[in-house]
Structure 1
Amino acid sequence: MKERYASTVEYVDRYGKAIKELMVYTQFGKKPTIGDFTESFKDQGLEVELRDFTNMIFKPIDPVSTPVISLRIIRTLKDFTYSYSAKR
């Protein structure tokens, strides 16, 4: 089983700032980890690494290949409307 969290993310790119929503999936009963966030960004085509743990700021590994300058997690809330059960 998995749980879903909705995160509000500030995207800063070469064109300005934007606030977007990011869905983060975790194992049942666990809270999102740094790896869960990087995996969610990777699913969107962004290879990032954590640069500032306190402020949850991620930056691209290869900044030349993407217009994104930084990503900051503003807040993360559990999505209680989501239910997923993986069949084995």
Structure 2
Amino acid sequence: MMYPFLTLNDDTEITHSEMKIDGKVKVYIETPDDLGGFHNATCWLPDYKWEDIEGYSETEINYFKQLIRNNAHLIIEFSKEGGILNAAFC
């Protein structure tokens, strides 16, 4: 299951999975494009392993890398709680 984490002004959605048994968390980034499709990328925490990057420029990916690094501690914590909405009410 994927949980919402953040929506940016350009409608980019950042979601994350629950923490897997091996301690990993999938972070998925998706931005709608002008053609009705999406740009997307996946980052696995805590290793910061990036994969399946499609449609983003190097500048955009560098921005997302910094954004994820700055918020990884929150994403990892929320992944243990069933997402930000469940963590907020505990």
Q: Given the two structures, how large is their TM-score scaled by the length of structure 2?
A: 0.31
Higher helix share: 2
* Structure index of larger Rg: 1
Between Structure 1 and Structure 2, the one with more strand by share is: 1
Considering Cα pairs closer than 8 Å and 6+ residues apart, tell me whether 1 or 2 has the greater RCO: 1
